A and B are shown apart, each in its own frame.
Chain A
Amino acid sequence: MSLWSRIVNGLRADRLNREIDEEFASHIDEAIEQGREPLEARRAFGSALRQRESSRDARLIVWLDSLRADAVFGWRQLMKRKVTSAAAILSLALAIGACTSAFRIVDALLLRPLPIYAPERLYSCYHTSILLGGNPLTLDGYEYPMFRQMRAAVKDQAELIAVSFASRTDLTYGSDLEMEKGYVQYVSGSMFGSFGLRPALGRLLTEADDLTPGAHPYAVLSYDYWTRRLGGDPKILERTFRMGGNLYEIAGVAPPEFAGVEPGTVTDIFVPTMMNPGVTQLDRSWIRILVHLKPGIAAESVRDRLRPPFQAFRTGMVKRRFAGANKERINKLLSEALMLEPAGAGISRMQRDFHQPLTALSVLVALVLLIACANIANLMTAQAASRTREMALRVSIGAGRWRLLQLMLVESAWLATLASAIGWAFAWWSAPFIVNRINPPINPARLILSVDWRVLGFTAVLTLAVTCLFGLGPALRTSGIKPASALKGGEDPHSRGRLMHALIAVQTAFCFLVLFVSGLFVATFDRLSNQPTGFSAERILTVDAEAKRTNTPVFWEQIAERMRSVPGVEKVALAGWPLLRGDATIGSISVDGRPASAELGYFLDVSPEWFDVMKIGLIAGRDFRQDEKDPGSAIVSEAFAKQFFHGENVIGRYFEKAESRERYQIVGLVHDVRYRDVRGPMLPVAYVPFRWVDASGAPKPKRWATFIVRSAIANPESLAPALRQEVPRSNGAFQVGNIQTQQEINQSHTVRERLLAMLALFFAVVALLLAGVGLYGVLNYSVLQRRKEIGIRVAIGAQPGSIARLITADALSMVFIGAIAGLTIGLISARSITSLVYQVKATDAGVMAFPVAVLLAAVLLAALPAVIHAVRIDPAQMLRSE
């Protein structure tokens, strides 16, 4: 009550003053009424001012009142220089906003623990493998039969949970013509229980839903999907949907906070692993294995128990699939060991892909913030200079050092708080903007960007840190003022300049670093996106299709024929999958009965005319004929011929797939293309006929294929609706999946690089702008300070050139020092981002020249106004005004 009244009094201090004064006046009045002399009564009362001060102190909280007074004063100071303050606040807001939005994304993707029971005890299995060829990759996809053995091995130490990779899947709540996509994830029935989750509606899956393959058609919807797609329908438990030939009953809705375990993807529908045909397949890696440790169990001991079943299963797999493969490769495969990594913040590919880019961007953003802070520190220093007399006066009438410090810091806090508020609004908009650009449009990223105490706390801490960063230096300097010398105007005028120049050097170093790194990113994106792929993506539409039952190649060819009659379609070919989608089939190659190669060959099944549709040039030999079969003939790429035939003439020669002993005769040689990835060397590819036959020559069925459609019109995506509807109508035995242009597929490989380049470029521009403004401010200030000196110099005949040198010499040497420092840091730090750059070396002359040139231009531009100002100083006028 009393504290409250004191706070309230603090807020209405003027009224309090009046009240106290009135009470004092009534005291004097009373005294006069009692017959005392007015003069005597006033004298006896004592110093009204002092009494009022101590009365006030009794009735309000002193520090709060002084804070209020400082806040009001600080606000007035800001308003006095509206333009400068607005510029300072906006530049800081941009930097703080960028930091906040970077934090929001980093937190949502990498740091925030899953909303589950004991997330710190959740681990995920992975191993580093050469299975897919090329450099060793981190793999975390496993086979279900192995998972079963592993689960049994650690039953009393940990709960093992199988979780499939969330994938966009066709499903329908009505007829087949109303197919839609949903992110479906197959999960162990024990997951919800182990995570301690409670249903928002109905029930969640349990272990009883995960016992017999194909026997548990129950689904749990995510809360997000339930509200977004189904409008939060309370009767949802009565509805069913069809997916992949099964009719699923909706068992319940998951709690709102749980969106699956893959940050970057919001799972729509959870179904039991038993509903996936993969549970009995030995060679399908389709699940992640999560390990939820029981209390007090060490991850290492569980890992050691998981390794024997892992090894046993891998040995079996190698025997089954790689019997004829290269010995060295087999040994390598067998020596790969299972590892565990913490998965308390979830586990997703997006985390792996964006961990480094986000870290790099965060550093850039922090540098931009530091540049902005340096700017404001310089501004404050310059302003403090013009307020020397005011401060000296305050000290002389008894203000303590702490009080002055408070005064200055409150003003800084105003700046920082206003900037944070605007920055917050900026982050509000920019974080989702960036997330929308993380993934290609067909597979958009969805990050839960909640605003909670973590983000609020981050901004609060940032605001405080920023206040201290730019406010403390100038405040300490000002508060340490010596009134006697200051009032005489005898303070060393260069000490301030030294601080400002040091900050210029720091700014330049950071700015250079930002420019340098963003130059690397932009160059990387440029190289990657302009790199020849070896085929033409123009006017190509890829149509993925899935047969309801596996079907013979002839069936697929009939559909392709039907597609050719759709208006606007020029040519149609068939392939196992589109180039660059990321799929691959690999095998060791054996030539002329020699042992299997250590290097792998890559395969793709294509129909005749495929090379023509993709515009891949034939170097020698011929295209496939309609009746050619796999195994039988093959067309190989230049890299293949070079790798396995040492560049000899390959037409008519034979090779074998070492694993299956299938024999191929080479009928054609084609140019290299980008097969799986746009990075790295061209892979040795062997194309095989689309018609697949078994050992006896009978056609083998295929379930999936991709139609490669070349359109006669410029925008192939306009064909999509016709192809999606028209074609299945003529033949209901298959359904159309994703339809993508080849351009989209190509671009999806550079989404990360494009995002990095775009943001880095943006921050580079901001950094440059801030540093330029900073330099301009300092130069301008020094011209103002040295007006007299310049006037005298001009009066005694100094040339404009020497004046310009006088003004800029110090600052430019600082810029030089800063640039050298920035370059050094840049070269050192470039090592930590080698995986983010492609075909660009940090030491390339071009990469180094770019920031140097840009910085030089910016410095000249920033220095120009101050130099012009200095040269134009009229000595007569200047000296007269003194």
Chain B
Amino acid sequence: MALTRLSQDPFRVTIERILSPTEALVNGRPMILAGTNNYLGLTFDPQCIEAAVQAVREQGTGTTGSRMANGSFGGHLALEQELAEFFGRRWCSVFSTGYLANLGVIAALTGPGDVILIDADCHASIYDGCRMSGAEVIRFRHNDTADLHKRLRRLGKRCANTLIIVEGLYSMLGDRAALAEIAAAKREYGAYLLVDEAHSLGVLGERGRGLSEEAGVEDSVDFIVGTFSKSLGATGGFCVSDHPEVDLARYVSRPYIFTASPCPSVIASTRVALHKLQAEPELRVRLWNNARRLYDGLKGLGFSLGPEPSPIIAARFGEKEETIVFWNGLLDQGVYVNMILPPAAPDGGSLLRCSVSAAHTSEQVDRICEAFASVKMALSL
């Protein structure tokens, strides 16, 4: 197999020791982490850590079961209340991971006889949730609102039973959904709209509520799904909405019922991180300064990037083998990024995807650019 002949297995990299939100020891040497989705850099925040430690001491290491069977801890309910307030919505349900949030929400909201219209570049968790729902699943071309209109027109009266699903920021190229136009289409045809703000929570919008806020269409978005595992630095997921179905989903959602609820330390650090996301807008400023610095730097080096600066910055490569060799070259230079190979990347190509953090220093961002330049020169690309 080309992968293992050319490289160590990129899907089995061992982080021997994590040193900070942006540094680790890999293969015995220090590495700048540029592929973590740790957008606000809160994983080592002293207050988040202290809250988690205190929760472990007071409430133990785990809940050892489902909320349906074992009951909800006070922290679960408090976090749901705080998320609902943050988004200005009536209802919130918390799930054990972001993946489970999409599975649980999509499969609970839709069923046989319904239609789900998804952007072709949606995350695997959305595809899996669609499959689990039993609804009819139709893809529209990535961010192509004309194609979305066409498919809504074809559905006719069935639009009333149609859920459109898009993402705030797409995880492969870091591009935004054309949400103002998509929300307008949703209103025109009378469908429902779910936005997965996994990568845009804490990243977009004046208050960090995501693309729905930035695009000024929160009123048209029926359901927002998000995760704790990126900007909030922990693990878990949620859905907020004004529709009571999100609360009722607890009774029918297998991914909510048949798994252990988030442990107290995760809930505790997430609550502090959510507070910081709101109280420290300077984190977002630092994140975007770093994002623009890296985007401009890599663009200046001649790499083909996504359409706009974003904390997700992916360099496109044509050949898989070239991508693998380049990724290894970056590791040798002390920079860790994500390698995306076909068919995971859009258009059948390969990507080396960076994500920047508010915790990166300008010097680290420059080092990432230097590593890309150095490997590019060594490979005569």
| B is bound to A | no
Residues of A within 8 A of B (CB): none
